[in-house]
Amino acid sequence: MKTRIKDIKAREILDSRGEPTIEVDVITEDGTLGRADVPCGLSKGEHEALEVRDGGSRYAGRGVRNAVYNVHEVIRPALLGKNSVEQREIDELMIELDGTPNKSKLGSNAIVGVSLAVAKAAANALGKPLYEHIGGAGPHILPVPVLDMIEGGLLAASGLDFQEHQVMPVGAESFSEAIRMGMEVYYKLGEIIKKEWGRHSLNVGAEGGYTPQAMNDPRKALDAEWKAIVELGYQDKFVMSLDVAASHFYDRQEEKYKFMGKKITTDELIEYYIELVNDYPIVSIEDPLQEDDYEGYAKLTSALDIQIIGDDFFATNPERIKRGIDEGAANAVLLKVNQIGTLSEALDAAQLAFRNNFGVQVSERSGETEDTWLADLAVAINSGQIKTGVTRSERTCKYNRLLRIEESDKSLKYAGRLFRHPC
Q: Is 268 a catalytic residue?
A: no
Largest CA distance in the chain: 64
Distance CA 180, CA 80 (A): 45
Contacts of 383 (CB under 8 A, 6+ apart): 141, 143, 335, 350, 360, 361, 362, 377, 422
Q: Is 336 a catalytic residue?
A: yes
Distance CA 362, CA 378 (A): 6
End-to-end CA, the chain:
36
Supply φ then ψ for residue 83, to 5 degrees: -85, 120
Give the residue among 225, 204, 228 at the shortest CA–CA distance from 156.
204
Q: Which amino acid is at 174?
A: S
Grouping H, G, I as helix, E, B as strand and the rest as coil, residue 132 is helix
Q: Which of 120, 188, 336, 387 is catalytic?
A: 336
Axis crossing angle, helix 318-327 with helix 294-303, rounded to the nearest 10 = 50
Q: How many CB atoms lie within 10 A of CB 253?
A: 5
Contacts of 218 (CB under 8 A, 6+ apart): 160, 161, 162, 165, 242, 276
Q: Which of 48, 207, 225, 286 is catalytic?
A: 207
Q: Tell me the catalytic residues.
A: 207, 336
